[in-house]
Structure 1
């Protein structure tokens, strides 16, 4: 059975980003997460991470088409 929720550490590993980058994504609302329990542990639903990745693919494709970004 697949995990429904991921920790921010899982998100950093999957996206190959730093913990501060993952926190910033959640804090800004760009990547939706929920805070659970008294200690305020953050979790990101697997479906939300997949939706975020799909949005990033679309945004990147748009920037490439408009010439805003190049492949280095």
Structure 2
């Protein structure tokens, strides 16, 4: 038996991402985080490997965002309002 479970609950995912279960549910419902719905009560599960792929993608997306939107130093590059 493996050390870590193959599938995680939304609460488990929320703990890994240090966010709320509601936020994870929103990610799943928007299709950003692939998950499966199982059982008669329709409980959501996220495969651990899919979560790792999601995290890797978020790092890549963030890197691209930072490259496209460089930080501007407030003292030299700020626009007077």
- TM-score when normalising by structure 1: 0.90
Residue number in structure 2 paired with 1:24:
26
Unaligned runs of 5+ in 1: none
Residue number in structure 1 paired with 2:74:
none
Structure 2 CA distance for aligned equivalents of residues 24 and 67 of structure 1: 26
Higher Rg of the two aligned structures: 2
Query: Which has the bigger relative contact order, CA under 8 A and spacing at least 6?
Result: 1
Residue number in structure 2 paired with 1:48:
50
- For residue 46 of structure 1, report the CA deviation from its aligned partner: 0.4
Unaligned runs of 5+ in 2: 72-81
Residue number in structure 1 paired with 2:78:
none
- For residue 19 of structure 1, report the CA deviation from its aligned partner: 1.3
RMSD: 1.1
